Amino acid sequence: MHLFPGAKLGLLGGGQLGRMFAMAAQSMGYRVVVLDPSSDSPAGRVADHFICADYTDRRALEMLAAQCGAVTTEFENIPADSLRALAKTCVVRPDAHSVSIAQNRILEKQFLVENGFQIAPFVVVDNAAQVLQTTYDDLFPGILKVSQFGYDGKGQKRVNNQEELITAFDALNKTACVLERLMPLRSEISVIVARGADGALESFPVAENQHVNGILDVSIIPARISDALIQQAKTVAKAIAGKLNYQGVLCVEFFVLEDDRLLINEIAPRPHNSGHYSIDACVTSQFEQQVRALCGMPLGNTTLHHAAVMVNLLGDLWRHGEPDWPLVLQQSSAKLHLYGKTEARPGRKMGHITVLAQTADDALSKALAIKRQLEQHIET
């Protein structure tokens, strides 16, 4: 099945990823229908048509399916049952099976282990009696993560011993979790791949990611790791997409250990924050690639034409009002992207900057200088 420009595409989710997908689709001549429960969603405000409804609203889903030739998702916490319902009458990419695995850390880790992929040692923790009666000394220090709905460091607690584990499990409302051993990291990287309906695969350049308080702060492209590790990461990410029979854009996050081993951290069945650089630095962006995969079109060229560094802009920068954007725009190689969110809150992603250069180190130097200037502006 091929959908050509002029067709309507459906999107479940109205955040910034959906906004960038909608803008990419519209630039290619498609029309976009967004379904989201928030009446003021970033994607909803740029969509050709907006349905304000819950993701489980049967009539809203029927309305979406009736209008659209194909439907995709903005984030992984869309109920899998909603995707199954849509798939009865229209194309859905990625499918409910892939999303149901990626949206649950327990299922995700079990899938990875069963298929021979390397991850950090872990155990499922899902009831209070288990926490009180079982000793996990071989997993300390570790991190306790809720199995669902955790993101940007939310729903996670670091634990160093059994007592801290008990306290953390209580603080996370005794919901199903995974306890994962903290590993000696040298860096963190991510690979975004796209897989078409015909099984064709394309990978984007590997990003090196730095986090602050669990939130992505800076992505450096290309990652400053060996060519061998880059190829290994791309091979593993493509293998995961193949095992899932995935159709669409998929991000695989990795830990690079001090001994140069790669361990998979998690997978995201969608475009990813660490791939935003592709809008400005690649022949094809991750969002155009999502459109191409959804519509059954050939995948685009992912060649990197400039080294790049992406810096997230969090709501903290709005502490004293609108940031001083001339500090960014006076830099000729800096690209400013704002998501149109009306309320700035600490830790909330409000936009990003991408700085282009001939080398990653040069782009990083320029990006960090802009970042420091913006931060200094709110301190004065």
pLDDT score of 288 more than 90: yes
pLDDT score of 320 more than 70: yes
Instruction: Give the bridge partners for 146, in sequence order.
Output: 177
Contact status, residue 171 vs residue 161, Cβ threshold 8 Å: no
| Percentage with pLDDT > 90 across the chain | 92
pLDDT mean over 293-322: 97
**Eight-state DSSP code of residue 39:** T
CATH homologous superfamily for 121-181? ATP-grasp fold, A domain (3.30.1490.20)
| Percentage with pLDDT > 70 across the chain | 99
CATH homologous superfamily for 185-379? ATP-grasp fold, B domain (3.30.470.20)
pLDDT score of 153 more than 70: no
Note the pLDDT of residue 71.
Answer: 98
pLDDT score of 93 more than 80: yes
Note the pLDDT of residue 129.
Answer: 81
Note the pLDDT of residue 136.
Answer: 86
Q: What mean pLDDT value characterizes the chain?
A: 95
pLDDT score of 73 more than 70: yes
Would you say how long the chain is, in residues? Answer: 380
158: enclosing H helix or E strand:
strand 156-159
Mean pLDDT: which of 136-140, 173-177, 297-301 is highest? 297-301
pLDDT mean over 107-123: 97
Q: H-type helices in 46-152, by residue range? A: 58-67, 80-87, 96-102, 105-114, 128-133
pLDDT score of 380 more than 70: no
* pTM recorded for the entire structure: 0.96
Please report which confidence band the pLDDT of residue 200 belongs to, taking 50, 70 and 90 as the band edges: very high
pLDDT mean over 48-68: 97
Q: Which tops the pLDDT comparison, 7 or 151?
A: 7
Contact status, residue 343 vs residue 373, Cβ threshold 8 Å: no
Query: CATH says 8-92 is which class?
Result: alpha beta
Tell me which residue of 239, 235, 272 sits closest to 253, measured CA to CA: 272
Reported as a single tens digit per residue, the pLDDT across 97-110 is 999 999 999 999 99
Note the pLDDT of residue 152.
Answer: 63
pLDDT mean over 23-45: 97
Note the pLDDT of residue 178.
Answer: 96
pLDDT mean over 82-86: 97
Please report which confidence band the pLDDT of residue 35 belongs to, taking 50, 70 and 90 as the band edges: very high
Contact status, residue 152 vs residue 347, Cβ threshold 8 Å: yes
pLDDT mean over 291-305: 98
Please report which confidence band the pLDDT of residue 377 belongs to, taking 50, 70 and 90 as the band edges: confident
pLDDT score of 267 more than 90: yes
Tell me which residue of 115, 76, 78 sits closest to 264, measured CA to CA: 115
Note the pLDDT of residue 149.
Answer: 78
The domain locations on the chain are 8-92, 121-181, 185-379
